[in-house]
Amino acid sequence: MTAPLPFDPPGSRIEVEEGRAFTPRFDANGLITCIAVDAHDGRVLMLAHMNAESLARTLETGEAWYWSRSRGELWHKGATSGQIQRVVEMRTDCDQDAVLIRVAVGGDGGCCHTGRRACFYRSVALDPASGRAVLTPADP
């Protein structure tokens, strides 16, 4: 990315928590957590990470771009699957170290690489008999 990034470095705690400047706080790996939710029904679709470039591209294009930690590269969500995520709204949390995007999903409306609509398709619970954590399907 050759253009300057569209956000400033973090300021004081008061500026970060109460100011109008978007000053994302990236972690030691240069990433910020992003939660994607369906703009229509509010369902949590997926959790991913963005670096400065993917966050800037998301803001510039209005479509979700992420940083793939497993592949070590930018990832335009839906570029191959057709499940483009059009950003309806982006929010940040109080200390600007996470973002939430409300998206309209293209293609078949799915988001998960398993073919499901959302990545959060299992419930986690403690099995009283064994004392072990177990997974059960949360979606039909």
Span 40-69, pLDDT tens digits: 999 999 999 999 999 999 999 999 999 999
111 is in an annotated binding site: no
pLDDT of residue 2: 53
What would you report as the CA-atom Rg of the chain, rounded to the nearest whole angstrom? 17
Reported as a single tens digit per residue, the pLDDT across 83-136 is: 999 999 999 999 999 999 999 999 999 999 898 999 999 999 999 999 999 999
DSSP E strand boundaries for 1-140: 32-38, 44-50, 65-68, 73-76, 85-92, 98-105, 122-126, 133-137
Sorted by sequence, the CB contacts under 8 Å of residue 138 that are 6+ apart come out as 120, 121, 122, 123
> Which residues does residue 101 pair with via DSSP β-bridges, in sequence order?
36, 90
127 is in an annotated binding site: no
pLDDT of residue 6: 86
Total-model pTM? 0.88
Amino acid identity of 110? Answer: G
| Structure tokens belonging to residue 122 | 């299992």
Top CATH class, 13-111+120-137: alpha beta
97 is in an annotated binding site: yes
